Structure 1
Amino acid sequence: MIVVQMVNSLTANSLLSHGLVPRTSSGLQGIVFSPFLHGSVRHLLSNLLPFVVLSWLVATEGLQRYVRVVLLIVVLGGLMVWVVGRPVIHVGASGLIFGLWAYLLARAWYQRSLASFAIALVTLLGYSGLIFGFIPVPGVSIESHLCGALAGIVTAWLMHSRRLVERGPAQ
């Protein structure tokens, strides 16, 4: 994200054209690229610490699980923004951050283990302020926040639901 922002800054924000633009064929590329693009250095810095901390907490399950969680949140959340978002360019890692946050909280519900509960408690205490990200603010993609959180919950359900785990693959 830092390297992408450096290139973006040096090219007068030319990379923002690769952001997610809902319901356009060119905007589909933004499903993958938008979490790495930021409108400014300030925007990047506001996302960097929560991204690192929440990523680390998810990575306690292992690197392979972390990669699957991130990919699912990025794709599911991005697709939802592409379907329901306002027709503007959506960029930034906040959708992924809200997805990781919601994943950690929902995972505790599905796993019902002491470790997942402890991590959810740390997540809730440390990042309870994210709840204010669901309040509309001009210039902020509330769609990314909402869709990212929903993608995090769905990802936790897909990976940890006891019914799915006990039954195994579709029979």
Structure 2
Amino acid sequence: MQAPRQLSRRIIPPQPLLSAAVVAGFVGLLFVIEAVDTALGHTLDGDGVIPRDFSQWDNLIWYPLLHGGWSHLTGNAVPLLILGFLATSGGLKQFSQITVVIWLTSGLGVWIFGSPASHIGASGLIFGYLAFLLVRGIFARSPLQILVAVAVFTAYGWALWGVLPGQPGVSWEGHLFGALGGILAAWGVARDARRVPAAPPASLGM
């Protein structure tokens, strides 16, 4: 089993096939939920995060699972697959912790500061994974991860404009607080890795 210091600097997941299956399974679940929502006449779309509504606090639990139609979901699916897989490089346990931090930071940020609407969609997770991948190499002082960050920025850096107010009907607040959650998660991973001393080299007996 690898130590946190080693996991924090990985590029490829320890179990890439399992990681790919988990991320693909999550994205597949989103398609199943959207199919159910379509069959119900899109009644689930109102169950997103509704800012400052105490009666709807539990919507924080499932708002990234809901999408406003197939085009919304398909637009999120590919970046979620790619960035989610890259974010599993520290193992699935670390990935689940990263996801929880991003999920809650995005949801709570929207609930406190968001505009009045039902905020739904996995784009907060996407922006969180993107931000996590962009800054983790700096926190971990890993040249290889910084190179990955450059590649990720080249491919998806344009999306960072989505953290600013702009297009009507787009939850820029979810994007912004998702990205902040990704930065917080990257800092936490690096902090935990620094707390654990590196294992001393093994000595061979004669």
Please give the TM-score of this superposition, normalised by the length of structure 1: 0.91
- Per-residue deviation at 1:39? 0.5
- Per-residue deviation at 1:121? 1.6
Q: What is residue 128 of structure 1 aligned with on the other side?
A: 157
Residue aligned with 2:148, SS: helix
Q: Distance in 2 between matches of 1:68 and 1:131?
A: 23
Question: Where does structure 2 lack aligned partners over 5 or more consecutive residues?
Answer: 1-29, 198-206
Q: Distance in 2 between matches of 1:14 and 1:45?
A: 19
1:116-160 deviations in whole A, cap 9, x for unaligned? 112212211111121221341101011001111111111111221
Q: Distance in 2 between matches of 1:105 and 1:32?
A: 26
Aligned match for 2:119, one of 86, 90, 115: 90
Question: In percent, how many aligned pairs have the same letter?
Answer: 35
- Per-residue deviation at 1:93? 0.6
Which letter does structure 2 place at the counterpart of 1:112? R
Give the 5 Å matches for 1:71-86.
Answer: 71-86=100-115
- Residue 31 of structure 2 is aligned to residue 5 of structure 1: no
Structure holding more helix per residue = 1
- Residue 183 of structure 2 is aligned to residue 140 of structure 1: no
Q: What is residue 95 of structure 2 aligned with on the other side?
A: 66
- Per-residue deviation at 1:14? 1.1
Question: Where does structure 1 lack aligned partners over 5 or more consecutive residues?
Answer: none
- Residue 175 of structure 2 is aligned to residue 154 of structure 1: no
Q: Distance in 1 between matches of 2:144 and 2:59?
A: 35
Residue aligned with 1:59, SS: coil
Q: What is residue 111 of structure 1 aligned with on the other side?
A: 140
Measured at CA, do residues 167 and 63 of structure 1 come closer, stay the same or move farther in structure 2, by a change above 3 Å? closer
1:75-101 deviations in whole A, cap 9, x for unaligned? 111111111001110000111100110
Q: Which has the larger radius of gyration?
A: 2
- Per-residue deviation at 1:27? 2.7
Task: Count matched residues.
Answer: 167
The CA RMSD measured in Å over matched residues stands at 1.7
